[in-house]
Each structure stands twice: as C-alpha cells, then as structure tokens.
Structure 1
C-alpha cells in the first residue's frame, strides 16, 4: 500500500485507542466504590451477559518497553498473597452483580498471568467457575510470556477450557531483544507454539511491536517471515509509545536507536503488505486475523465490538474486571480499581470494592460511543439510519467535525457513498484519527436536548 510520507506526518498525532468512550483519561475520583456498588446492583436485572477479566500484575523480569501496570519480582509469595485477595474481590463482585448471569467471555491479562504456577492457574479458574455461570461455548483467553513458560502451564490452561491464548513475541531479532531486555529465541517461540497446538487450542494470537530500538525493515521482515510460517490465527501489531516521563524504566532504552517516523512508516507499510499477502485480513488499526476467524466474520456481520480487551465478538456484555488497575464496564458506567497493590489489598480485605475512579455515561456519551464503535468496528456508518436511531440530524449534530470529515475524504481515509460514510483501506490504519471526529470531549459538538430520546444503546500507542 502506497501513501505519501507527508500524509503520515499529518495524521500521526496523539489520540486515544478508544477501548472506551469516554476514555479513561476522563475517569474521576468522584465516582467511588459506593457509586460502583450501586451500578452493579442496578445491572443485576439488565439482561446483559458478562465478560470477566482478571489482572495478574506480576512478571519475572522487566521489559523496558512495557506500558502496563506490572510488578517485576522473583518473590512468588507476593503472587500467592495477591491471588488470595483476588478471590476475595471475586466473592464481593459476584454477590453484588449476581452470579446467575451468563459469562460469555473471560480473559486474563497482566503483567503475565502465566507467572502463576500451573496449580494456581487451575485454582483461579475453579474459583471463577464456582462463582459464575460459564456458558458452554464461552471464549476463554489468557496472555502468555514464552519465557519461564512450561508445558505444564499450557496443559493446565487447556484442562480448564481455555480456547484462546496470546503470545508476546514482539520481535525475534537478537539486537532488538537485548535493547528491550526481552530475550526469547525463535526456537523457544516455535516450541511454545507447538505445545499450544498439541494441547488442542485452536486460536493463537501473536503480539508484535513496531518502533522498537534497532528495528529496520530488513530485520523485521525476518521476524514477519518466521511468524507467517508459524501461522497464528490472529496478530496484534502494536506501535511502541516511548513515554519515559511516564514510565521511568523506558529511560533504559537507547533513544538514538529508535526508528524515525519515516522508518516506522516503512515498517508499517511492509507489515501491512506482507500480512495481507499471506492471507490475513486487516481488521483495523493494529489487528489482523485469518479470513475464517470469528473477528472477521463478526466485522462482516456488523457484530464486532471494541472494549478494554480490544476487538471482541461479545457486544452486549458487562465487563466485571478484577485485580489491581482493572477496569469494569456496564452500559451506563466505567469503574477502575486502584493501581497500588497495598491499597487494593486493604480495600478488599476490609470488604470494600477497591474502586479508585470511574465515570457515569451520559446520553450524549452513549450516542458518541455508538458512532465511534461503528466506525472502528464496522468501518462504516449510515448517516440516515444513525440519525433515525438516535433522533438527531447527523450533519447538524456533528457540524463541528464536518470540515475534518471532508478533509479526510480528500486525503482518502473516508469515502461518502450516498448517506454511508465508509473507512477506506488506508483509513483502517488511522481509525483513531477518524474516531476523534465523533469525540465530544475533544471536538465541540451539539449536546442532546432534554426532549431527545435514545432508542439504541494505555498498552501501546497506535500513533505511527
């Protein structure tokens, strides 16, 4: 795919990833544990199913690029104490939100969930199974660090019914790995990949990162070739965000070795071309999947959704998230647990939900969230249908954004066909920029009036 460098400079700017709307930047401490307790109780009879999330913040070693909420430690007793608190929080949430609702999805992230020993992975899953009603066809996923992983970890997850696993590959080049303090050979990745396939798990995702120190098109091409040969079902190709003022450990990365914007552009072009040539479908932003994958089918059918777990096929679920820093979501609110482990422990052991901040979602937020979700997931929006669904005039409501929409049409990111606004192939790379058009907290828009009724309901940066 060809597009001018000046074009990328124009659209490479800070923007949210829109795993929520409003974004987490707008969460506030005025939304507290009492507010979330009330919201959970109100959601009991909503008829919405559940998506569960557990955050395991521990890692054996520190990866210098990491932007996650994590703790690098070799003291496993910290994980054992954390797990006991997590089980206590699980009881609090299940009792409040009603354990009778059906769980359609569960995901474990981190940190590194497989930091836990195999027996503790089973213990955690059994606790979820006791507290919640899991659907027979539930999607159950876990993030994995190939280092320190054993066959016993994979077998434990498989025995618990996990059917989606994600491997942090990042880059297979030795010099890149040394610069980011993440040494893992191609042989190791292939071995772990084989274990997962042998265990009967048929959905495997690889995480890769563009923009790491010492990356060049020639070197990253070798990583892509090796990855394509292994044939994972999904790929997430994130763009590294160098923010040493926020993540102090990123100061350990040699800035002079980071690719320039133009070099990142070439890496992006090459990645897109090679993955699509290998048969992967570009879902949008940094996600790719095989044509038969559920994500691709959901996008084609208009049922794809986006939340804090990224793209998902489970659209109408409340997210109940457990663990330090975890973010929960209902139709009407977001709530985030405290990031500080000691504060998290003290709240839960005292019988309180460990909420640090959150947000009630207004009717205007719901409208704008619907527009953002449609563009990021379905890659199209019918202005007439959207206007009818939300009782607005689309062009009037989003008048402030129309000049930018027209500019994006001229630049080839968007195409207007009748009343339908469509994201182009190039536009899929710049979905964050397109989503910002509908962001009322960054763009001035016309708020809903009181008589208008509603009839429908940071990992890595995506900047180039």
Structure 2
C-alpha cells in the first residue's frame, strides 16, 4: 500500500474525528439513499404514475440502471436487517428466477429499450445463492430485453458472499459481464464471527479477491461493520491490518444498528456483549485513522476509496450520486427495480415492489407489475432531494445552482434551515457564506445530521426506524 500523500484528499484523523461533537450529535436519522425516504411511500400509490414516468419522452436521453434483488441466504447473519429469505432449499431460486424473467419483460415493455443500460446491480440476500446456470439465464434474459453498454462504459456490479463463491464463480461472473464486486466480511475475528453466526475464514475472502483481480474486475469493495458483539479496538485493529494487506479498492465500514424490535434475528445476540458508546467511538476513530493513514479517501458517511477508484474520481468531479444501493457514479439514470422489495426511481417517481415473496409472486403470476408502494415527488421534494444529495455527495451547496434551476432565492427559501445550521457553524461543522455552504472536515462524519436539517418530513417519521448517525 502506498503511503498517503499530503493534501486535502487526506485530512488527518484529528481533523475528521471530534469525539465531543460525535457524541453530542449522535441521533437516529436517515441514510438518504432517497429523499423522501421509504417511510413516505404510499400504499395507495397509483401505478399510472409509474407508467407515465416510464414513458416520459423527456427521459429518452438518459441511461437506465437495473437493480435485481435476490433475497435468498443459506444461513442467517444475526446482525442483518436486509429483506431476505433464509433457506437450504435451492429449488426456491428456480421459481423466483422464472418470475424475475417475466418481470423483466413486463418492465421492458414500459420503456424505450433503445436507452442503454450503464449500471446494473445484483443485491440481496445473497445473489451468489443462484447456480452458475441460473446466473447465466438471468443475464441472458436481461440482454434479451435491454441494451447494456460496453464493459468499458458500464458499471455492472454484484454483491458476493465468499462462503458461496469459489474462484470459479468469480471467473463465471466476469464472463457474464460483471466488472465490479463487493463482498461482505464484517470482521475477521473468530469470536465475533461466532457471535454473529458468520463463520468466514480469511482464505475464503482472500481467494475471492485474488480471483477478482486475476480476472480483471474494475473495482473490488469490502464491507466491514464496527460495533458488533465482542469487538474491541485491539481485535478490530487486527481485522484492519488484514484488510489493508488485501487492499480492496473500496471499503464500507458501517456502524452496527442494534434494533431487535425491528429485526428479530438480532435477538440471538447478547446485547451485553456489544461495545459501549465510548467503545464504538474508539472503534470509529480507529477506522478513520487507519484507512486515511493508508491512503484511502474518506468519501463520506461509511465509505472510503482509493484515489484511483471511480468513487473518489466522481467526488472530485462533483458527479457523485446516491441511490438505493448507496454511493453511485451514475447520477442521471432511471433506476428499474426487479424482484421482491426492490425499489426503482423513474423520473420523479419512487416505486417499491411487494416486500414478501408471496405478494411478489401473486402479482407476477397475474401478469401485473409487482409495485405495491411508492410516491411521486412534489416540486419541494425535488428541490430538497437535490440539496440533500449535494450535501451527502459533494459536501457543499452552491446557492446559485439551486437559484438558477428552481427560480428561488436560497437565503429566503431556506432561512429557517440556515438559521438552524448556525449552531453547526459555531461547532465548526459547516461554513455558511453569502453564496455557498461548505461542510467542514469535522462535519464530514456528521453529514447525515446536516442533511436532516433540510428534511421536512422528519417530524412526521418514526425516528426509531432509522439507524444512529454515529
């Protein structure tokens, strides 16, 4: 690993990490993979809103993004809050795949499929639960109905569980056209792995990364989690040592959200073994120190990337974006969701499929879209979405851009919000000028809190459904 160069991309951990402020501002809040968040989706959402958005002639110049949700997992990880189905029955994936193929045809009929697909993502669950033949079938059906850009132009990614993916699987995925992958690790410590029911020896992870490099994947990302049972600064430091030796292009280091009232499998873990709030902060500081010290760019929230990675380059160009999979380099795509619980964004519409397999299957079997919830954004929603996106991705607001795009005077339209942010400015988290707002270094780790100031729905939402911002 190269040593970190000096300059603004590599601020010191001391400038990023202010434990007094992190403790004071820690609260429950959205991750803003969308605005409005899914809590504002309506059960009486009219499907015609989605169909009109899909047929909008004004969108014909934009590319498409496709998301496929594969919900199956062979074993359950106790910390997980994803929409998943835990099963040993591999036959269930064949029935699900048959419906996915019908849904692809249904969705494709609504769009001008001459619009190229520049982004594709398989998530879950565990997409590598599918057999090699099933993966090939799903990709073949996708090519049948949609036009995917070339390997050099497109971002085609998949979430991989090393316990389900041999090096042969990685070669197969590359041959199918995937050029980016992310893999879950969470922690290498065997005591922690037993506590979270995810036994994953180091060699499993290393073999996947080696195979991905050998087959020419453009980017390799790894997920870690801090705040898990039995984690200590010492034990997690060893995990980071190992991870830096593996040197992935991207790292997502999430703070574990313990919400057993929402996710019953979390009750399998002994809450008394979780790190204390002070220990969580110490773990977070360790992450920031080690990764920025090793040359990773702190993108924002939980994400770090090497300066050569597409995420870091996109942030430097101010083209970074957020969608339902997190940070993205494709800002203007219409996103089509496939599979149970998947969410799409088409024009000014968010639409979510039935969350349960039975509801999803019933709709597809009747030849209908599986969309059950959604929302059409108002003019105010669109404005606030753009503000929150700019804060989360580019760590700044240039007021003239919003004034030109929306015909407003920013200081007048958001006087209450700017006034609330004065306290943030006093704490050194933001700097408010006549023509712009900048997130200061100490504010980068609290950017969710800053964005929340512009969220007009927070007073109406059940805040306990969101994770902690720190």
If the TM-score is normalised by the length of the shorter chain, which range does it land in?
A: over 0.9
Residues 123-143 of structure 1 deviation map (CA, whole Å, 9 limit, x = unaligned): 111111111011112110000
Residues 288-340 of structure 1 deviation map (CA, whole Å, 9 limit, x = unaligned): 10011111111111111111121111111000010000000022100000011
Residue 130 of structure 1 is matched in structure 2 by: 144
Q: SS where residue 165 of structure 1 aligns?
A: strand
Shift of 1:112: 0.5
Structure 2 Cα separation of the partners of residues 303 and 44 of structure 1: 21
Residue 108 of structure 1 is matched in structure 2 by: 122
Q: Given that residues 117 and 153 in structure 1 are in contact (C-alpha distance below 8 angstroms), is that contact kept between their aligned partners in structure 2?
A: no
Structure 2 Cα separation of the partners of residues 4 and 156 of structure 1: 45
Q: Does 1:85 align with 2:99?
A: yes
Within 5 Å, which residues of 2 pair with 1:292-311?
292-311=308-327
Q: SS where residue 148 of structure 1 aligns?
A: coil
Structure 2 Cα separation of the partners of residues 364 and 374 of structure 1: 16
Q: SS where residue 153 of structure 1 aligns?
A: helix
Q: Given that residues 348 and 376 in structure 2 are in contact (C-alpha distance below 8 angstroms), is that contact kept between their aligned partners in structure 1?
A: yes
Shift of 1:439: 1.1
| More deviation, 395-404/150-159 | 395-404
Q: Pick from 439, 463, 467: which aligns with 1:461? A: 467
Shift of 1:356: 1.2
- Aligned CA RMSD, in angstroms, stands at 1.8
Residue 287 of structure 2 is matched in structure 1 by: 271
Q: Given that residues 108 and 141 in structure 1 are in contact (C-alpha distance below 8 angstroms), is that contact kept between their aligned partners in structure 2?
A: yes
Residues 63-122 of structure 1 deviation map (CA, whole Å, 9 limit, x = unaligned): 000010001101011111000000000000001122211101000000000010111111
Structure 1 Cα separation of the partners of residues 89 and 47 of structure 2: 31
Residue 394 of structure 1 is matched in structure 2 by: 410
Q: Pick from 79, 85, 108: which aligns with 1:71? A: 85
Q: What stretches of structure 2 of length at least 5 have no aligned partner?
A: 1-12
Q: Given that residues 32 and 355 in structure 1 are in contact (C-alpha distance below 8 angstroms), is that contact kept between their aligned partners in structure 2?
A: no
Residue 42 of structure 1 is matched in structure 2 by: 56
Residue 170 of structure 2 is matched in structure 1 by: 154
Q: Given that residues 233 and 290 in structure 1 are in contact (C-alpha distance below 8 angstroms), is that contact kept between their aligned partners in structure 2?
A: yes
With over 3 angstroms needed to count, the CA separation of the structure-2 counterparts of 1:388 and 1:33, relative to structure 1, is closer
Q: Given that residues 121 and 158 in structure 2 are in contact (C-alpha distance below 8 angstroms), is that contact kept between their aligned partners in structure 1?
A: yes
State the 4+ residue runs in structure 1 displaced beyond 6 angstroms: none
Structure 1 Cα separation of the partners of residues 377 and 99 of structure 2: 29
TM-score, normalized by length of structure 1? 0.94
TM-score, normalized by length of structure 2? 0.93
Q: Does 1:424 align with 2:440?
A: yes
Q: Given that residues 119 and 156 in structure 1 are in contact (C-alpha distance below 8 angstroms), is that contact kept between their aligned partners in structure 2?
A: no
With over 3 angstroms needed to count, the CA separation of the structure-2 counterparts of 1:119 and 1:57, relative to structure 1, is same
Residue 35 of structure 2 is matched in structure 1 by: 21
Residue 182 of structure 1 is matched in structure 2 by: 198
Q: SS where residue 142 of structure 1 aligns?
A: strand
With over 3 angstroms needed to count, the CA separation of the structure-2 counterparts of 1:431 and 1:398, relative to structure 1, is same
Residues 372-428 of structure 1 deviation map (CA, whole Å, 9 limit, x = unaligned): 111111111122442233211212211222232111111121123552211122211
Residues 264-311 of structure 1 deviation map (CA, whole Å, 9 limit, x = unaligned): 111111101100010000000011100111111111111111111211
Q: SS where residue 149 of structure 2 aligns?
A: strand
Structure 1 Cα separation of the partners of residues 167 and 77 of structure 2: 23
Structure 2 Cα separation of the partners of residues 461 and 30 of structure 1: 27
Q: SS where residue 97 of structure 1 aligns?
A: coil
Shift of 1:189: 1.1
